[in-house]
Structure 1
Amino acid sequence: MESSAAVRDRGFGKTLRRDRWWVPPLSVALGFAFFGAYATVAIFQGGNYFADPYLSPFYSPCIAASCPEEIRLLGIEWWPLSPAILMMGVILGFRGTCYYYRKAYYRAYFLDPPACAVGEFRGDRYSGETKLPWVLQNLHRYFLYASIVIWLFLTYDTFHGFFFDDGFGVGVGSLVLLVNLVLLSGYWFGCHSLRHLIGGNVDCYSCALGGKARYKAWKGVSWFNKRHMSWAWLSLGFVCATDLYIRLVAMGVVRDPRLF
């Protein structure tokens, strides 16, 4: 009987596996395509992203002159396009260089490899992430630092979503923003680079400054990290759902019920 390595060497897609190995990469490809298409349309539309007191997470922080006065952080006059584009570079950079997402889209779109023990598209020409443009994946830790700023603004937007013209209240949109923040936080806290920064680079916790606290923090982040794939997909899907809900409220298509 031939080894799995020998079968892979025969060419792309060759394998001894009898399961539906192609289902996960196909599902990932379709999922990324769907959410990517929605986000692109939402970002470039540049309107219906604010329904007081709710701000779409795609547009936070809103720093262009075209932003509504109630939520405008800065009035950048020279920017003629959608204000969401100003921040999407950080978000796309952070998610695009994420260790889980890299594995997912390498398999789904580049088929390198499409799955374990399956013949690769490029065979033995794989060179890892040592050449352009893939060497830029090493910028992930810097996108992590920049994403902290956006996460803080999203936290503020969620808090602001509980305050209406007549004072504190709870609407469906308030809860939608809260769930969105929880899911995004779960994804962010599970980041491999954050885990390394907090304690993954420590060989001896008892020898390190604040070692006990760092170990506890590392254990906490590790809990999120073990479920990083789930947080990644849940947060990706729900951030689009959050934008859609706020967009429909802003357009008057749906009414935002006040629960309290």
Structure 2
Amino acid sequence: MATGTERPQLDTGVHDKSRAAISARHLRTDRWWLAPAATAAGLLAFVVYSTWRAFGNAHYYAAPYVSPFYSPCLAENCEPMKAGPNLEIFGSWWGLSPALIILIFPLGFRMTCYYYRKAYYRSFWASPPACAVAEPHKKYSGETRFPLLVQNLHRYFFYAAVLVAVILTWDTALAFRNSDYEWGHMGLGTIIMVVNIVLIWLYTLSCHSCRHVIGGKLKHFSKHPVRYRLWGWVGTLNHRHMQLAWASLISVALADFYVYLLASGVFDDPRLF
């Protein structure tokens, strides 16, 4: 016999008995599935392409351009790159593609990004698939367990992403040289590199972690006018974080593909001057 002190056994998740008893999974009549489906298709396309290029280990350098997937070159098995840094930190023992050394940092930055979490949580894990649509999972533990616990490393991946962006900026500056490494050159590839690095910087600086680093711990903005101004600028960019995330993802893939076309001899880089 119940004493009245026992807690009732409730179902978990969206089917908890404390919630409205609606048998339908959702009451939406629009094509709510289009957004998560398009997101899944876009992210999957990039994953397939970047995996192919990262393991390809070829056609990533066409003087003076170097693919953003392979820069900086840290292994001895890289193609000679006079137009970019080649530190050879990993020496001759690294036999795999040199892109696998570098891509872990921008990939980790994007995988742990607040916007991308929302994107692939909804599109791949259906958690939840859309607003007002019940997710199929019975339990929700948030990001408190492995592997989602790794999401807390986002702030550290941000620092690495800034360093990678600095190196890609240097690569972009070197793209103003011709194939003989003489300054005063501008080709179609130069423009592509410039657009790509601008979008990468805008996406990186619009990151929530960047906003927190600049002004998140300040108690009195009036005492830090410079940081407050920077915080405001980053906040403005943060409103476009989703758009910048997609734009920079597309631009880095296009920049790599353009270098691939040049390096594989499909056509020569059109020179503007």
TM-score (norm 1): 0.92
The aligned counterpart of 1:213 is: 226
Overall identity of the aligned pairs, in % = 47
Q: CA–CA distance in 2 between the matches of 1:235 and 1:171?
A: 21
Choose the corresponding residue for 1:151, options 150, 158, 165.
Answer: 165
1:246 aligns with 2:266: no
The aligned counterpart of 1:44 is: 55
Letter of the 1:147 counterpart: A
1:90-109 correspondence runs (5 A): 90-109=105-124
Choose the corresponding residue for 1:171, options 179, 187, 201.
Answer: 187
Letter of the 1:82 counterpart: S
Q: CA–CA distance in 2 between the matches of 1:81 and 1:97?
A: 25
Choose the corresponding residue for 2:209, options 164, 174, 193.
Answer: 193
Q: 1:82-107: per-residue Cα shift (whole Å, max 9, x none)?
A: 10000111111100000000011000
SS of alignment partner, residue 163 of structure 1 = coil
Letter of the 1:236 counterpart: L
Do 1:155 and 1:181's aligned partners in 2 also have CA atoms closer than 8 Å? yes
Judge which range, 190-199 or 162-171, deviates more: 162-171
1:136 aligns with 2:150: yes
Do 1:65 and 1:72's aligned partners in 2 also have CA atoms closer than 8 Å? no
Moved beyond 4 Å, runs of 4+: none
**Pairwise CA RMSD:** 1.4
What number of residue pairs does the alignment pair up? 249
The aligned counterpart of 1:60 is: 71
Do 1:94 and 1:143's aligned partners in 2 also have CA atoms closer than 8 Å? yes
Q: Which has the higher contact order (CA 8 A, sep 6+)?
A: 1
> What stretches of structure 1 of length at least 5 have no aligned partner?
none
The aligned counterpart of 2:86 is: 73
Q: 1:101-153: per-residue Cα shift (whole Å, max 9, x none)?
A: 00110000110111111111113x11111111111100000011111211111
Choose the corresponding residue for 2:175, options 157, 161, 167.
Answer: 161
> What stretches of structure 2 of length at least 5 have no aligned partner?
1-18
Q: CA–CA distance in 1 between the matches of 2:263 and 2:201?
A: 26
Do 1:10 and 1:119's aligned partners in 2 also have CA atoms closer than 8 Å? no
Q: CA–CA distance in 2 between the matches of 1:113 and 1:68?
A: 45
How far off its partner does 1:202 sit? 2.1
Q: 1:223-258: per-residue Cα shift (whole Å, max 9, x none)?
A: 111000000001101111111111101111022011
Q: CA–CA distance in 2 between the matches of 1:37 and 1:193?
A: 28
Letter of the 1:172 counterpart: L
Q: CA–CA distance in 2 between the matches of 1:190 and 1:68?
A: 34
TM-score (norm 2): 0.88
Q: Bigger radius of gyration, 1 or 2?
A: 2
Q: CA–CA distance in 2 between the matches of 1:126 and 1:30?
A: 25
Letter of the 1:140 counterpart: H
Q: CA–CA distance in 2 between the matches of 1:58 and 1:90?
A: 11
Q: CA–CA distance in 1 between the matches of 2:85 and 2:157?
A: 24
1:27 aligns with 2:34: no
